[in-house]
Amino acid sequence: MKKTNVETLFEWLDHTTQIIQQHINEPYLDSLAKAMETLFYQGPTEEMDDILSHKLQQSLAEINFDAYQINDIQRGVQLAILKGMKDSTQQQHLMTPETVALLVGYLAEKVMKNKEKIRIFDPVSGTGNLITTVLNQLEQDTESFAAEVDPTLIKLGVLNANLQKKQIEFFHQDSLRPFLLDPVDLVAADLPVGYYPDDIRAADFELKADEGHSYAHHLFIEQSLNYTKESGYIILVIPDFLFDSDQSDKLHSYLQENAHIVGVLRLPESAFKSKKNIKSILVLQKKGKDTSAPKQPLLVKIPSFKNTKAMEDILNQMNQWFSTYNSN
């Protein structure tokens, strides 16, 4: 049976990564970044020695990269990154599942429907999977920005965007520090969950904890609103327990003051390893002069992604809801 383009690209990336890994003896994800770089520049980089350069030239001769569509590239790279993450023990080395990223893209397309040009920002972009998936679904001209603190992840994110021919400006920094960035129309992010260790920086936020460390996921919601234009939108992948935690009262009153809750989509349990990992998607609109809350927010329990009939019904219901919302 003939292999798909996604399979051949993944196998090429995996094989080339292993060649580099055996030669340099470093983690898979770091070698994968070098393999992606080799593919993008169509040649080994200068710091590689003659033996490795020769092996990589041989490897490049086996692939015709121009024959690959953007979707094939995205999925082939995704598979290689997922393989690397299985071997990685670091909690932040996790990727937004493709089905979840596609749903975020669907929501982005709906709330940005009346915009001709969109400025979009992902403040916790990781390997760039979420922002590139969203960009693949938006038809308008976009100006895109992303931020990531982890050096390996940001390198993979930049290369992922380059291979998909996406223009994204990346910031390599702690995303809860100030950015040199004008407010955007849309923030899309998969929030990291846990405590933020820098209490001095956290003190600048309204959503700081009254005592002890603050929740990073709360601070990121405030940071997202800070960098969104008035009446702009924020689409966040959030932990399911966001509004039930010990600091949720503060979060509730902060959101009531600064944003309209447009919708909450609870993701299916089957998409996550355990109940404590279940996530939802929260859609907010930053308050502006002419904004108002929807009469009835979009509250949806997403069925199993494998149940195509139920998914179709839910998408039809959501399409109807958005056609009413966008006409108001």
The answer as to whether 236 is a domain residue is: yes
Determine the pLDDT at residue 91: 53
34, 67, 87: which is the final residue of a domain?
Answer: 87
Determine the pLDDT at residue 278: 86
**242 in the same domain as 302:** yes
**78 in the same domain as 199:** no
Exposed, middle or buried: residue 163 (CB in 10 Å: 0-12, 13-18, 19+)? buried
Give me the residues of the chain with pLDDT under 50, please. Answer: none
Determine the pLDDT at residue 92: 52
Strands (E), the chain: 117-122, 141-148, 168-172, 184-190, 195-196, 214-215, 228-239, 259-266, 279-286, 298-301
Determine the pLDDT at residue 12: 97
The answer as to whether 93 is a domain residue is: no
Per-residue pLDDT tens over the stretch 255-287: 999 999 999 999 998 877 777 788 999 999 999
**142 in the same domain as 231:** yes
Total domains, the chain: 2
**175 in the same domain as 72:** no
What residues make up the domain containing 290? 98-327
The answer as to whether 92 is a domain residue is: no
**250 in the same domain as 225:** yes
The answer as to whether 234 is a domain residue is: yes
Q: What is the CATH number of the domain that holds 77?
A: 1.10.150.470
**181 in the same domain as 65:** no
Q: What is the CATH number of the domain that holds 237?
A: 3.40.50.150
**35 in the same domain as 167:** no
Determine the pLDDT at residue 244: 85
**70 in the same domain as 104:** no
